[in-house]
Amino acid sequence: MGRIQERIKHKLEKNPVVECNKIQNKFCPTLFQKFSETVDPRHQSYIGYNNKTMLGTAYYKGIAGLTSMQSMTYEFNDKKIANNVMNFLGEKEKDFLPHGVTLNEYFEELDYKQTQEVQQSLVYDLIRRKSFDDARFQKKWLVIVDGTQLYSGSRRINETCLERRYNKETDAEKVNYHIDVLEAKIVLGDKLIVSLGSEFIENNRADTKRQKNMSEEERKQDSETKAFKRLAGNIKKRFPRLPIVLLADSLYASEPVMKICKRSKWDFIIRYKTGSIPSIAAEYEAIPEKGVAGHATYVNEIDYKGNPVNMLKYFEEKVIKENVMRTEFQWLTNIIITNKNAEKLVEAGRKRWKIENEGFNRQKNWQGNITHICSWNSEAIKNHYLMQQISDMIKQLYEWYYLKANEIKKRQKNISSDLLASFGRQLTREDILTVDMQGIPKN
């Protein structure tokens, strides 16, 4: 595409935030209503901004790609921006939006489960639309599970921090404090991957009495595998009939995870590393007659503690500097493997990387920064993180169903900056209240 054609394409997008709002109105029309329906934890006599305004400001902070409360307060300290955002939310105009300190104090009191309910209800609505059914595998939704770190440092910012000790019992002993979250993201398309559920990995001191006389080292810390049990339970409760194929790394190649999947009636495709469950590898190698489909080999119904599990191996070769480089992959699955579906299972299993690329990498480096702690308070950290998931979901839809659909090419780093710049433009009533969806695919 030449420069003239590129310029014409860019002219299609008269105002980025208006186009983003159109996408939000199409796919998540009840978003602001859901903000209003949350229970306000504050004393009613001291309220200057209602729930919708507080959560709406945090939402637009994410849309604008602002990473800190200081930057939000600075960038949104403009009467025109304040009026536009209040109009977007359907509220009366105000000269100022909530200050970053005010929003943090609100998030410290707001039960994060309310924010999570808003986020999950939006995903539920997307799934019901049938717009994304083509992303399913064997009529089931691919759900990727993995953990990521939100904070790491030498300072213990709150009591829920996990601890990692180095050079124990020496003069060089150091303690690293960190905050992690376990994510389940549902694949809605090649470049669409949104949060289905979040479980925070933390020392919640649930059994404080038993731990009272224990040292910090003796106390049982929370872990990713423990968090998975809670996350799976939450997803099953919130989406009881959702057909799921779980994708996970080798950490989840274990009997407890497989039992949870069986109990939840979920399928699974889990990466396998040699040595993690030696008995499975030994039986696989002992069976001479293996199924073969292209670069894939497989064996079905390998016994693992009384339950059958199927093992799939796959290799690919690349020529690098005239040398043939061979890479091998292995998975465990409860789906019966055949010559027809072997390579399709490989393709589905390799989509686990999407949680790193379109998921965590995007939210850490491309669109915002989830590792920037906007508060030291545990409840506020959770609310900030979940609001980022909501904003990022809408931005992904905007990128896919507006920018890509209209062949408007932008660098990732420019998407947020263009959106932010458009917040302060003079908008007409038609811009703000428009329901015109021209140019948006009718999926």
pLDDT at 354 over 80: no
pLDDT tens per residue across span 360-406: 777 787 777 888 889 999 999 999 999 999 999 999 999 999 999 99
pLDDT at 217 over 70: no
- Cα dihedral: 66, 72, 77, 81 (round 10): 50
With pLDDT > 90 as the criterion, what percentage of the chain qualifies? Answer: 70
Is 183 within a domain? no
Q: What is the pTM of this model?
A: 0.90
Q: What pLDDT is recorded for position 204?
A: 67
Angle between helices 51-63 and 100-109 (to 10 degrees): 120
- Summarised one tens digit per residue, pLDDT across range 415-426 is 999 999 999 887
Count of domains for the chain: 1
Average pLDDT rounded to a whole number, residues 316-345? 90
CB 348 within 8 A of CB 143: no
d(CA 342, CA 294): 9
pLDDT (0 to 100) of residue 441: 47
Report the candidate in 64, 151, 52 with the shortest Cα–Cα distance to residue 98.
52
Q: State residue 209's pLDDT score.
A: 44
How many CB atoms within 10 Å of residue 10?
Answer: 14
Q: What pLDDT, in 10s, does the model give residues 42-76?
A: 988 878 899 999 999 999 999 999 999 999 999 99
Angle, nearest 10°, between helix axes 51-63 and 378-398?
60
In a domain, 342, yes or no: no
User: What are the tens digits of pLDDT across the range 256-293?
Assistant: 999 999 999 999 999 999 888 999 999 999 999 999 99
Q: For residue 101, is it within any domain?
A: yes
- In the predicted structure, residue 440 carries a pLDDT above the cut 50: no
> Does 420 fall in a domain?
yes
Q: Choose between 437 and 109: higher pLDDT.
A: 109
In a domain, 193, yes or no: no
In a domain, 365, yes or no: no
Does residue 77 surpass a pLDDT of 80?
Answer: yes
pLDDT reported for residue 262: 96
Whether residue 421 lies inside any domain: the answer is yes
Determine the structural domain holding residue 79 and report its residue range.
1-138+374-443
**Pair 82, 97: CB distance under 8 Å:** yes
Q: Is 210 a residue whose pLDDT tops 70?
A: no
pLDDT at 439 (0 to 100): 43
In a domain, 380, yes or no: yes
